[in-house]
Amino acid sequence: MFENIAKEINANLKNFCTFKIGGRGTILFPKNQFEVKRILNDCKKNCLDFFTLGNGSNVLFPDGELKKVIIDLRKLNNIKITKQGTIMAEAGVRLFAFNKFLEQNGFAGFEWSYGIPATIGGLTFMNGGAFGEEVSNYIKKVKVLKNGKISWINRKNIDFSYRKSNIEGIILAVEFKFKKTDSRIIAEEQRKFFDIRKKTQPYDKFSAGSVFKRFDDKIPAIMIDKAGLKGVKIGGAEISTKHAGFIVNNGDATSKDVKDLIGLIKKRCGNLECEIIILE
Ligand SMILES: Cc1cc2nc3c(=O)[nH]c(=O)nc-3n(C[C@H](O)[C@H](O)[C@H](O)COP(=O)(O)OP(=O)(O)OC[C@H]3O[C@@H](n4cnc5c(N)ncnc54)[C@H](O)[C@@H]3O)c2cc1C
């Protein structure tokens, strides 16, 4: 099983997520789309569950052993400009690299995403967004591996909603459409958005971004702040004093600490829906 595929068995999951929390698990590092396909075949044959990992910036791993096999897509990291002038990025491309590419080649519109520590695949799956924008606004089509078959799905056939898509299977690549502008203007805009992010979010601490989704007109961070919960700690996990929508890991937080803090917030603020993906 998983022959000639790079892997780490009994890996420390802390090293594979921005929360820096987690126990142990098996991680596979396919270097191309064919290896991803082969891994899925092996999983099916051996009745193994798998979890697709981007940059781990929206996940909470368990403290113990993760029974699912993790497929880490970060080696799928090619970006190119197509003949039609669109941008094709593989799922494992990190947003920092993607934004650098857009800046250098004068493609504008995506500056708002600068600083989100995601991959293209993760951002697309989650329909990530900020400052009133969403990644789905710029997508033309998505390449997906599902039931052993690779196919491109047009944007109009995908349901994107707030921090959600109905994409099934593994995203292998995404094609985008952007406007052309002067690189200096793009760099300036990127810096502007990154500065706001660093000023308003606990960017220097380990976290997985906003823990809860917004709903109706309600903003969880404001509700948590109003409930007087800013700065409340359980073990090594703390509700950020800078942005109450974030839970930060002060260094030795466990998954249980974070889940207990989430439980406390829900008890005090009502039944908020988690944005972060909690793995057991
Ligand atoms: C400091 C900080 C700031 C953040 N700011 C924002 C923000 O402004 N806006 C925002 O929307 N989010 C934000 N986030 C959250 C996070 O970055 C996003 O949810 C992001 O989209 C997750 O991308 P990822 O590659 O890290 O995915 P992961 O966390 O690795 O995975 C997230 C989900 O996507 C799935 N997935 C990943 N890759 C694929 C793939 N190729 N195919 C199918 N499914 C896949 C996973 O299985 C999982 O269910 C922030 C996080 C941090 C730590």
What is the token pair recorded at 138?
Answer: 């710029």
The pLDDT value recorded for residue 215 is 87
Closest ligand 1 atom to residue 201 Cα is: 1
Q: Rounded mean pLDDT of the chain? A: 97
d(CA 191, CA 145): 35
**Centre of ligand 1 from the C-alpha of residue 47, in Å:** 26
Per-residue pLDDT band for 64 (boundaries 50, 70, 90) equals very high
The pLDDT value recorded for residue 112 is 98
The pLDDT value recorded for residue 44 is 95
As a whole number, mean pLDDT of residues 19-47 equals 97
The response to whether residue 18 sits with its C-beta less than 6 Å from ligand 1 reads yes
The pLDDT value recorded for residue 258 is 98
Per-residue pLDDT band for 216 (boundaries 50, 70, 90) equals confident
User: Tell me: the pLDDT tens digits for 50-63?
Assistant: 999 999 999 999 99
First to last CA, the chain: 24
The pLDDT value recorded for residue 54 is 98
The pLDDT value recorded for residue 165 is 96
Q: Which residue, 244, 236, 231, 232, is CA-closest to 206? A: 236
* Residue that wins the pLDDT comparison between 215 and 71: 71
Residue 179: Cβ-neighbour burial (10 angstroms; 0-12, 13-18, 19+): exposed
As a whole number, mean pLDDT of residues 197-216 equals 95
User: pTM for the complete prediction?
Assistant: 0.97
The response to whether residue 62 sits with its C-beta less than 6 Å from ligand 1 reads no
Minimum CA distance residue for ligand 1 atom 43: 170
Cβ-count burial 15-51 (b if 16+ within 10 Å, e if not): ebbbbbbbbbbbbbbbeebebbbbbbebbeeeebebb
The response to whether residue 220 sits with its C-beta less than 6 Å from ligand 1 reads no
Per-residue pLDDT band for 217 (boundaries 50, 70, 90) equals confident
User: Tell me: the pLDDT tens digits for 79-124?
Assistant: 999 999 999 999 999 999 999 999 999 999 999 999 999 999 999 9
The pLDDT value recorded for residue 203 is 94
Sign of CA dihedral 99, 145, 33, 60: positive
User: Tell me: the pLDDT tens digits for 74-86?
Assistant: 999 999 999 999 9
Q: How many CB atoms are closer than 10 A to CB 162?
A: 11
Reply yes or no on whether the pLDDT at 271 is more than 90. Answer: no
Check if the beta carbon of residue 158 is closer than 8 Å to that of residue 142. yes
Q: How many residues does the chain have?
A: 280
Phi/psi of residue 72, nearest 5 degrees? -90, 120
- Please report the domains of the chain, with CATH numbers, ordered by start residue: 7-72 (3.30.43.10), 79-199 (3.30.465.10), 202-278 (3.90.78.10)
Instruction: Using a pLDDT cut of 70, give the percent of the chain over it.
Output: 100
Reply yes or no on whether the pLDDT at 16 is more than 90. Answer: yes
Closest ligand 1 atom to residue 128 Cα is: 11
The pLDDT value recorded for residue 176 is 98
Check if the beta carbon of residue 82 is closer than 8 Å to that of residue 88. yes
